[in-house]
A and B are shown apart, each in its own frame.
Chain A
Amino acid sequence: MAHEAIDRLIADGSLWRGPALAQPEGRFEASGWPALDECIGGGWPTGAVCELFSRRHQGLPLLLPLLARLSRGERWLAWVGPPYLPFAPALAAAGVDLQRVLLVQEVDAAQSLWAAEQLLRSPACAVVLAWPARLQPAAIRRLQLAAEQGGGTGMLFRPLRTLERSSHAALRLKVTAIPIGLDVSVLKCRGSRGGHCSLAL
């Protein structure tokens, strides 16, 4: 009985198994921020979904080095329902090849989720950035499964107030704006004890 209950908790993601049990073979892409890499077990996990919680969609600059590197490959960098217009000159200045940027815009919440899942499942997408307003735990699980299939990374930018106790995301970060840049605390990270770092932008 106890086993069943625990299995159920594991299955729906309510119970998070610590680093000892987590799959250590997870692959990652270096973030370009050495201090951040150290906190998140080497880099952004691939074939997985990450959640970035913040007060107001903060955290995009953390991804710019990653986006710049991935844009030299053949896969798309997809943006699903960004809250504002990505400032193309800033992306170009950060070294992102704009040719690889794919915007999905002016869509409702259900369409965004559908698009994010399609994009994550596709091997043609290296990274999918999404700004979902609300997200059920089951939806995160779907996105996580899609990412495992497609091999890319899902980056979900989420409002701080939606921070639930647990989720299927491989990495969960809290991002706070500070005068010099961004402050990052690791809420959950597969295969790492987590930590905290401040990044100057």
Chain B
Amino acid sequence: MLWLGLYFPDLPLEIFAAQPPAKQSLAVIGHGREGAQVVRCNAPARARGVRPGQRLQTALSLDGTLQARTRDRRREQDALQGLALWALQFSSHISFEPSLLLLEIGASLRLFGGLDPLLARVRRELPGLEYRACHGVAPVPMAAALLARERPARQVLAMVDLREALADIPVARLTRNERVRGLVRVIGLHTVGECLALPRAELARRAGPGLLQLLDRLQGKVPDPRTPWQPPARFGQTIELQAEIRHHTALVFPARRLLLAACGFLRGRGVATQRLLWSLQHREDLPDTPFQQGLLAPSRDPEHLLALFRERIERVTLAAPVTGMGLEIPDCQPFAEATQTLFAAGPRQDSGLLERLGSRLGDRQVRGLGMCADHRPEYSVDLTPPGQGRATHIPPGQLPAWLLPEPSPLDAASGVPHHGGPLELQEGPRRIESGWWDGVDVARDYYRAVSRAGERLWVFRDRRSGEWFLHGLFD
């Protein structure tokens, strides 16, 4: 087994932080024995001298503009669960510690082609999730978590290397248990290395069973079962925005976070989706703005979906500032990665093209051209979904390239139609009579005519009224 610890040191702060980062100084306050204390603070606050561990009053005296938020562990846990949805692509065995995810990745290494490609993907996607993370890798879960917290980026693959990697970590970091921490101060052992250097009996005598058990767990000498998290059957996530968004473009950032999480979830499940249900939330009294994003083919590529989102969101009317954003995936399809690479390899393929057009312009704007078996020209052209147009029949005679949407009446003088002067009838008549069955019956004689300007026109004479109409253009 190999474990990846992902520690999110600023999680308590990041759940309150606006994106993009604001200039406002911000601190998260916890309530300890000494009263209100700074737990985390952002860069503007640090620049004014605010530090974690400070009492709130001290911090406020240093920075009068400091915005203090009470630590919200429930929201931290929610954020961590959101991150776990994303992390499902790396492991089906995920467990939680405060501000930390533990993933069993031994089983996924082959899928990713090794540890480095797996970690590369983690690093590539983390910035889009907008949480800072530190990682540690070890064959023991507790060690992976400890390395992530205390020695970021340290990777230990074999048990034999574990002891050395942990040696200089202070023993006090092994636990939050105050009784054990107090004990450590008394016994004069500071680092994990110092403890492990002692004979076991001596260590047991000085450190007591509590600390000994922790050290055993750290080295993998006793079982340390971690209950795997049971992920939900369907993906659904909502992000509360810290600053109201008024413009479409700014919605891309929360959308990216949601899509990264969603695609991580889909990858973990071995599926993909063709339908995304978005919702934009506004202030309490206003209803949400829901909208759908449909795809031609199942996908789980966050960049592809984000590109489509950019097009889709342009067509959503923002009736009010957006305070939150949700994404749900109602249904999934099985997905074979191989199919995707096969498509991508073809030089003529661009499966995203129609989606991009449809998302930005609307599906009614992107059509195929087909025919209906109707002799009346205006009913013979059929707009279809792209790629589905078929020719049903080919009428005889020379046909105009263009059809006017409706016949346009022409002036006539002594039986000769005019269009910028009298028209010269060149070819015809071709008689069209049909439509009696649906009440729009026609009886027309069509001609090819030439105008004085040299334009070749398709005109007809209504045989009942004798009136002339322009119906098409040859050039």
Contacts from A to B (Cβ < 8 Å): 55-61, 64, 73-76, 82-93, 97-107, 111, 114-115, 118-119, 122-125, 176-179, 181-182, 201
Contacts and interface: CB of A to CB of B under 8 A. Distances in A.
Nearest to A82: B402
B365 A119 contact: no
Contact of A61 (B354, B365, B367, B474): B474
B402 A104 contact: no
A61 B401 contact: yes
A118 B365 CA distance: 15
Given A60-B402, A105-B365, A122-B350, A88 B454 contact: no
Nearest to B382: A88
Given A74-B348, A93-B399, A104-B366, A115 B454 contact: no
Given A55-B453, A90-B399, A101-B369, 11 more contacts: A58-B475, A64-B401, A86-B403, A87-B400, A87-B403, A89-B377, A99-B387, A103-B368, A103-B383, A125-B353, A201-B456
Interface string B187-204: 000000000000000000
Contacts of A182: 475
A145 B2 CA distance: 49
Contact of A86 (B387, B402, B474): B402
9 contacts: A60-B401, A84-B472, A88-B370, A88-B382, A98-B389, A104-B357, A123-B347, A124-B349, A201-B456
B371 A98 contact: yes
B454 A89 contact: no
Interface in B358-396: 360-361, 364-371, 377, 380-383, 386-391, 393-395
Contacts, number: 150
Contacts of B472: 84, 87
Contact of A123 (B348, B381, B383): B348
B13 interface: no
B162 to A, nearest CB: 52
A150 to B, nearest CB: 9
B353 A92 contact: no
A152 B338 CA distance: 28
Interface residues of B, number: 48
Interface of B: 347-350, 353-354, 356-357, 360-361, 364-371, 377, 380-383, 386-391, 393-395, 399-405, 450, 453-456, 472-475
Q: Most chain-B Cβ atoms within 10 A of its Cβ — which of A98, A99, A125, A182?
A: A98
Nearest to B396: A93
Nearest to B405: A85
B391 A88 contact: yes
A95 to B, nearest CB: 10
B402 A85 contact: yes
A67 B366 CA distance: 19
User: Sorted from nearest, which 4 A-B pairs have the closest CB atoms?
Assistant: A92-B391, A90-B399, A124-B350, A98-B389
Contact of A99 (B365, B388, B403): B388
A179 B474 CA distance: 11
Nearest to B349: A124
A76 B369 CA distance: 12
B395 A89 contact: yes
Contact of A105 (B347, B350, B367, B403): B367
A114 to B, nearest CB: 7
A103 B367 contact: yes
